[in-house]
A and B are shown apart, each in its own frame.
Chain A
Amino acid sequence: MSATLTLNKITAQRGISVGEAAKKIADLGWNPSYVQEAMTFPTDYKITKAPKDPMKQVLRSYFPMQEEKDNRVYGALDAALRGDMFRNVEPRWVEWMKLFLAIIPFPEISAARSMAMVGRLAPGEDLRTGFTMQMVDEFRHSTIQMNLKKWYMENYIDPAGFDITEEAFGKCYATTIGRQFGEGFITGDAITSANVYLTVVAETAFTNTLFVAMPSEAARNGDYALPTVFLSVQSDESRHIGNGHSMLMSMLKEPENHLLLERDMRYAFWQNHAIVDAAIGTFIEYGTTNRDKNKESYAEMWHRWIFEDYYRTYMLPLEKYGIKIHHDDVQTAWKRLTEKHYVHKVAQFFAVGWSANFWRIEAQTERDFEWFEHKYPGWYAQFGEFWKWYEKLSHRGQTNILFNSDVGYVYPHRCWSCLVPCLIREDIVTDEIDGKLHTFAHELDRWTAVEAFAGEYQGRPTPAMGRFSGRREWESVYHNVDIADAIKDLGFVRTDGKTLVAQPHLRFDQKEMWTLDDVRGHILKSPLLTLREMSPADREKHLAEYRKGFTINPCN
């Protein structure tokens, strides 16, 4: 008898290695010979080299792993309730989750759908297994996020806004940005949308700010449910990043893809910056009550996650494959976040339009001012007076800040490309598409809409490329409509038929809550339609004034 018990000698069984299992599973596919699969989502890219599945995972290990992750998530949600999380949560934070969680389940499920678009494009079956798991992952993300939102609705002090969430997503002037993001995954050239825009850029670069940086801020505000859910979501992203990179490597093999890749990397990086930084930057910087000067600002996190991690270690190495990387775009985005106060201008825009939202926005206070000035020197001079006005005008009986001429804010033009308004006023450009004038937040936005999303790119036909469509300027939907009627039409009214869902404060007191009557009597105007109505001379004059920006009047 041996001195020590070696159980594995009795129970061990020869098995197959993970690599071997993955290889056998990759052999499940075949080239059909009776009926060909329809290529219903075309691409202008050429893919001849079969991509490899870098993760080599099989569903046998995938499902138990995911179930275990789920158990931890749902266990944590139960624990949060037992620990009375909502007693200590910061409402300023949870209110912004009404916007965030209205947006994010659609891009997630769009990502699931987009796996169908790339699934048939790549030769070989190796990566299809990876796409399969990503499809189920994205289904997970979409429904787990809907569940989290339901959980907030059931347990947070003010459920209004959560209770109309998906309807609000389709209608709100802020969620339109999220729709541009989500539709971008599933519409147009299959590789542009489902591979480059979604996987190579959004998932590889920007999920770090979405799903890592934001949960950290949630935890600082007493919300440990969001980190639990979103860090679990993020743990799936590494597989998706692997899928995207593998597909990208296959495409790089074909020199004729290089021009399209340069186009798509440029479009995807810029638009992810414009959309994700606008939204997530605002949530993190303006949804928090934590003003610890030792914590990283959004800009600092961006530098770490996007500039150092993504740009330096992912984008730059693509140059050695012959892809032109637009370094200046990355630098421009960085300058927009720091010198040009992009995020702060977005937060200001959301705040100005609070009455047509479906969540509460609280004023920033002196304590916040100090932190902003510390992290973003020059902030106070540009935004301090505005937030004082916002606080002052948050009381019923005051004129809605959107229409209050005492403030000095000038409502912005909407960018036809990223759908965030042209907030860095000096950068606004205009151009025509099909004979119609449009406004753009930056030259790169103009390039995206006019040159990239077209049937030809630099002399090369691109018949699979998508087009921008619909009533993209939200404001044109309610041109010349009273704001009260617009809010009613949007459905952003509580069930008493008069109290607004949105409020410019966190005072949970009916007397303080604005109603339709408090905002009635002011007419919405579409800046774009107004601009189109002008004579060419007046238009130039208007744009010159616009580029000069505005000054907020002192608030006494």
Chain B
Amino acid sequence: MTAVQTVSAKSGAAGSAVFPDSDSRRYRYFEPRSKRATHYEDVTVDVQPDPERYLLQDWIIAFPNGKGAYTKDNTAALSSNWHAFRAPDQEWERTHYQRQSKIEAMVQAVIANGRKSGAPKSFDMAWIKILQNHLGAWKHAEFGLGTSLMQAQRYGYTQMINNATLTNSSYKLRLSQDITLYLAEIGMDIPGFDDTAGKRVWLGDKGWQATREAIESIMGSADYLEQYFATNIVFEPLVGELFRSGFLMQVASSNGDFITPPVISSAEADYERNLANTIDLMHILVIDNQHGAHNKKLFQGWVNKHVALANKAAAGLQPIWSQPHSKPVQYADARAQTVERIKKILGELGLTLPKE
């Protein structure tokens, strides 16, 4: 403020009078990550308070065990500053709906145009069975991760962590529904297509049981950060990308299917964002001055546990690569790529991939 003037203001507009803080037009209760707060930070930071920021009276309702609404011990990880994390994808409601809506429009346009041109009828017969059984089973894996993250978003100590987990959940649930409706729609064009087969395969097919076990292990964890970590640091590269990019996206077109790859492609873009968010959070925790060593040890334990499950899951899915008539990609090559990928991810966090 540089000048003081006496004003009998009639207008409620900014600048119509000058007085102390008449120009204070930024939230001034948190430190932005960069020089100036982003829009995401403005609408996100500190909306979930805590006794450190700024609950003067502490939590005023408790669970029967005496704990308040949010506590740090919902995860075994430790942090000297849980408030430091900012999601690299900077997601807030508007960007979230814009992105999700665009994806839905794209997916529906692809399916509608494909069906109009009679594409599903030209899919290779073996490929149709793969879509029916295996893509049909996969939708349950995506759903499991979505509901698991829906659970996880209740526990984080800050709004930034919980909102990143919430949007991750939303992306996974959207994909599971997209696949469900995609299969139901092409099923109407393909005689004999059974879109209920996927669930039977998911629940009973031997090849899928290790994947189900890996998913249920994530869903069953009572540590929200382990759920988030296991999903994006381990399961997604070793099984998610393996099946989506390493199989569906690469094999579909040579079997006459130009629809499945764009339906699935959005998931890969979703994952890039969710991975960036997860790595950023985990990186803060492994370089924490006070607790870095503890967290690294903890995360390595999570890696060991979930990599073992994911490896078993990937091995269980291996026979699917030999089922299409046209086999432009080998399981071994796809698998090698995912191993490279997870090594890079773990390398960023100073963690190692356990030997098989």
Contacts and interface: CB of A to CB of B under 8 A. Distances in A.
Interface of A: 11, 13-16, 20-21, 24-25, 27-30, 32-38, 40-41, 58-60, 63-64, 66-67, 70, 74, 84, 86-91, 94, 105-106, 109-110, 112-117, 119-120, 128, 131-132, 135-136, 139-144, 146-147, 150, 153-160, 163-167, 169-171, 176, 179-180, 183-184, 186-188, 222, 419, 455, 463-472, 474, 477, 490-491, 494-496, 499, 501, 507-511, 513
A150 B268 CA distance: 34
Contact of A146 (B13, B42, B96, B177): B42
A326 B13 CA distance: 48
Interface in B72-97: 92-94, 96-97
A508 B56 contact: no
B123 interface: no
A459 B213 CA distance: 42
Nearest to A506: B9
Given A64-B101, A508-B19, A171 B56 contact: yes
Contacts of B338: none
B58 A136 contact: no
B323 interface: no
Contacts of A167: 29, 46, 53-54
A37 B220 contact: yes
Contacts of B93: 70, 139-144
Closest 5 A-B residue pairs measured CB to CB?
A170-B54, A35-B220, A116-B154, A469-B62, A67-B101
Given A160-B22, A163-B27, A472-B57, 7 more contacts: A11-B116, A13-B116, A139-B96, A159-B14, A160-B21, A176-B60, A508-B9
A277 to B, nearest CB: 19
B22 A470 contact: no
Contacts of B150: 115-116, 119, 131-132, 135
A106 B59 contact: no
A481 to B, nearest CB: 12
Given A135-B169, A150-B42, A495 B115 contact: no
Given A90-B12, A183-B60, A36 B220 contact: yes
Contact of B181 (A60, A466, A510): A60
Residue from B103, B104, B162, B169 with most neighbouring chain A CB atoms (10 Å)? B104
16 contacts: A32-B219, A35-B217, A70-B93, A70-B94, A87-B12, A88-B11, A147-B94, A160-B21, A187-B68, A188-B64, A222-B12, A469-B59, A471-B60, A474-B56, A495-B21, A513-B20
Residue from B9, B57, B178 with most neighbouring chain A CB atoms (10 Å)? B57
Contact of B14 (A136, A156, A513): A156
B154 A113 contact: yes
Contacts of B219: 32, 35, 37
Given A109-B159, A113-B154, A511-B6, A16 B185 contact: yes
A63 B101 contact: yes
B119 to A, nearest CB: 12
Contacts, number: 353
Residue from A135, A170, A507 with most neighbouring chain B CB atoms (10 Å)? A170
Given A16-B185, A469-B66, A472-B60, A30 B203 contact: yes
B35 interface: no
B140 interface: yes
Contacts of A508: 7, 9, 16-17, 19, 22
B124 to A, nearest CB: 23
A315 to B, nearest CB: 24
A166 to B, nearest CB: 4
A156 B12 contact: yes
A190 B11 CA distance: 48
A141 B112 CA distance: 32
B64 A466 contact: yes
Contacts of B9: 91, 157, 508
B322 interface: no
Contacts of B151: 37, 40, 116, 119-120
Nearest to A140: B93
A159 B94 CA distance: 24
A139 B163 contact: yes
Residue from A84, A109, A465 with most neighbouring chain B CB atoms (10 Å)? A109
A79 B153 CA distance: 35
A89 B184 CA distance: 53
Nearest to A165: B27
A60 B27 contact: no
B26 interface: yes
B43 A469 contact: no
Contacts of A494: 20-21, 24
A494 B20 CA distance: 7
A379 to B, nearest CB: 27
Contact of A109 (B47, B101, B143): B47
Residue from B59, B61, B97, B213 with most neighbouring chain A CB atoms (10 Å)? B61
Contacts of A94: 12
Contacts of A86: 11-14
A474 B153 contact: no
Nearest to B100: A63
Nearest to B43: A146
B147 interface: yes
